[in-house]
Structure 1
Amino acid sequence: MNKLTINVCPVCGCTHLERVMTCTDSYASGERFDLYRCTECGFVFTQDAPVEAEIGRYYETPDYISHSDTRKGAMNAIYHRVRQYMLGSKARLVMRYARCTGGRLLDIGTGTGYFAQAMDGRGWKVEAVEKNPQARAFAKEHFGLDVQPESALNEFAPGSFDVITLWHVMEHLEHLNETWVRLGELLTPNGALVVAVPNCSSTDAKRYGADWAAYDVPRHLWHFTPATIRRLAEKHGFVMAGCHPMPFDAFYVSMLTEKQKGNSNSFLKGMAVGFSAWLSAWGSKERSSSMIYVFRKKQG
């Protein structure tokens, strides 16, 4: 297996890196992967993950819901119910920051196409990109969406989109800095970049440590905090226009963590931890299990 070995922090360029914990792939392989942290900026990443060309097999499980759309089990049933509510919430947030009720939107890593379909139904001109062919086929069959493969990102003209969204996608992308450069090229000068990622400084992440399901090694390469994603954005000429907690994620991630730990009554235990984490985020939204960040290009 060819590995992605990181010797320089992709956020600040520091070479002083330290191992902080070892996590287990609970979905596909049972393999263990180390997480490292930059001692300068605090950015956390998965060390020695499979390279992009070889990581596909770690997604090949019916339990990987963003690609398979499985409804098997209580966890996934809850996921689907919450997703229906969140689709409306996401759409309203996008239109608020876009400052319009229609425009050109690019959804990167669209999965099975639910958000792209929701925005299309609201009158937006939507382009959607997804690496996984089975997920693209699902989007075509169920929503009539012509989802493009990842290579399409190189074909769009500069300034093509008023809004670009990445819902729990940024943490998967091997070419992190190159991606941010391309996003800057594709976005209009006054456009909005919307990025949702897990927050490894959240209350539930600290509670569970290496067992936290949202580390999701090796599929998640990058583990952001509000401070590190802001620094990465500023590096590429973006400023943060807003940040919003994803209140339901603490419940889902906690239940999934309890299930992966093999605990009995994982549903109830996860609900209890999720509720505690949710309450904690009321006092400080930056403790939320996942965050939505909205960025704009720096002006002048």
Structure 2
Amino acid sequence: MKDLASVSQTMAHTRFSPICPLTGSEMHPGLTVPIDWRRPADRRAWQIWWNETDGFGQVFPRPRPSDVASFYDIDAYYTHAERYTPDVADEARRVGTLGRQLGRLAWRFERGAEPTSAWWRSIIPQEAETGLEIGCGDGDRMRTFGPHLKSVRGVEPDPRAVAVARSRGLDVREGTAESLPAAIRSSLYDLIVFSHVLEHTLDPVLALANARDLLSDNGVMSVEVPNMASEGARRMGPRWRWLDVPRHLNFFTPDSLKACAEAAGLRVRAVLYRGYVRQFMPDWLIDEARITAEMEGRDLLQADIDRQVRHSLGLFAATALADPAKKYDSVRVICTRD
């Protein structure tokens, strides 16, 4: 485990021939993302290098830790809920009747493992008392699984999100998955949660290894990431909403997520999927239309949204009855220490 973490750290400072931190095999150029669509004034292109055998990708060259915070300086990011409120009615109007019907149709075929309060109750060990969420944002998930435990704590790198979480009465400390605060490292936890966090880390193996060291003997860890094996990701390529480079630095399939957990010394007990309906909701359709327009260097037009609705109708036809690995936009593993 230490050797793999060392390989990943070495890779972060090497500009050529990156090595996969999961297996040590060579990676090769994959997708090129022409700009950060959320910050179109920054015209830098980003390269995703890919390990085809293991289904794992990384942005390369790796950014410096000091640069990462600037990637999140955008009003519409989800951890900045206090600064941005979407106009849901306007989004529904812009996608039209067909766009609105897509979401309703998709509900009929939704079978994903949504992380509801009841779902959390089903996986939390019966005698569990303590929980930790790493990358907890403003604390919404902590308030969902927290009632099933005596105490919950969170770690979050964004100071604005930390402030929102604390204003809600939650115990949240500022820090990262690779460098957890000392106060967090002083305890063991019966539940540890990574929800769409591992893709943001500079060193995903180290992030999970740090968490493993804090997992109690009978504890469980839930790790969820975007699913690069999904049909939506395949069809949209660099325009896929969940790609979100450069905030997302690592890219997983179900197989590579399992491999990452195993490289960190965890045992994968279950592989679950979620995120079907949201691929057909107005905000998703508009964002993917906007990504296309931004990458072409022009303003978003109604024609772009109409085109995206038609594209998504084809995606629905191809995925409604598909295998879960192709259908859902996210994959989740449930892990234990051994």
Q: When the two structures are superposed, what TM-score results if normalisation uses the length of structure 2?
A: 0.75
- Higher mean C-alpha deviation, range 160-169 or range 67-76: 67-76
Q: Cα distance 1:38–1:72, how it changes in 2: closer, same or farther (>3 A)?
A: same
Question: Cα distance, 1:239 vs. partner?
Answer: 2.4
Question: Cα distance, 1:62 vs. partner?
Answer: 0.1
Contact 1:197-1:292 within 8 A present in 2 as well: yes
What SS is found at the alignment partner of 1:106? strand
Q: Does 1:240 align with 2:279?
A: no
Distance of 1:96 and 1:275 partners within structure 2 = 34
Q: 1:48 aligns with which of 40, 61, 71?
A: 61
Q: Does 1:165 align with 2:204?
A: no
Contact 2:36-2:44 within 8 A present in 1 as well: yes
Cα RMSD (Å): 3.0
Aligned twin of 2:118: 92
Task: String of CA shifts for 1:177-224, please: whole Å, max 9, x gaps.
Answer: 211211110111221111111011111111111211211111111000
Distance of 1:163 and 1:76 partners within structure 2 = 39
Question: Cα distance, 1:265 vs. partner?
Answer: 5.8
- Higher mean C-alpha deviation, range 215-224 or range 272-281: 272-281
The one-letter code sitting in structure 2 at the alignment partner of 1:296 is T
What SS is found at the alignment partner of 1:207? helix
Q: 2:169 aligns with which of 122, 140, 144?
A: 144
Aligned twin of 1:296: 336
Aligned twin of 1:202: 230
Unaligned stretches of 5+ residues in structure 1: 79-85
Q: Cα distance 1:157–1:51, how it changes in 2: closer, same or farther (>3 A)?
A: closer
Question: Cα distance, 1:157 vs. partner?
Answer: 4.4
- Higher mean C-alpha deviation, range 90-99 or range 215-224: 90-99
What SS is found at the alignment partner of 2:173? coil
Aligned twin of 1:37: 50
Distance of 1:227 and 1:126 partners within structure 2 = 30
What SS is found at the alignment partner of 1:137? helix
Contact 2:131-2:149 within 8 A present in 1 as well: no
Aligned twin of 1:104: 130
Aligned twin of 2:85: 71
Aligned twin of 2:212: 184
Aligned twin of 2:288: 257
Q: When the two structures are superposed, what TM-score results if normalisation uses the length of structure 1?
A: 0.84
Question: Cα distance, 1:87 vs. partner?
Answer: 12
Q: 1:12 aligns with which of 23, 28, 48?
A: 23
The one-letter code sitting in structure 2 at the alignment partner of 1:172 is H
Task: String of CA shifts for 1:231-285, please: whole Å, max 9, x gaps.
Answer: 1112222222222222234235454212222352666655565565466164211
The one-letter code sitting in structure 1 at the alignment partner of 2:228 is C
Distance of 1:62 and 1:13 partners within structure 2 = 38
Contact 1:102-1:123 within 8 A present in 2 as well: yes
Unaligned stretches of 5+ residues in structure 2: 1-11, 93-111, 294-300
Task: String of CA shifts for 1:48-103, please: whole Å, max 9, x gaps.
Answer: 2422221111110101123345213449989xxxxxxx998333222211233862
Contact 1:256-1:270 within 8 A present in 2 as well: no
Distance of 2:89 and 2:58 partners within structure 1 = 26
Q: Cα distance 1:267–1:124, how it changes in 2: closer, same or farther (>3 A)?
A: farther
Contact 1:254-1:273 within 8 A present in 2 as well: no
**Identical-pair percentage:** 22
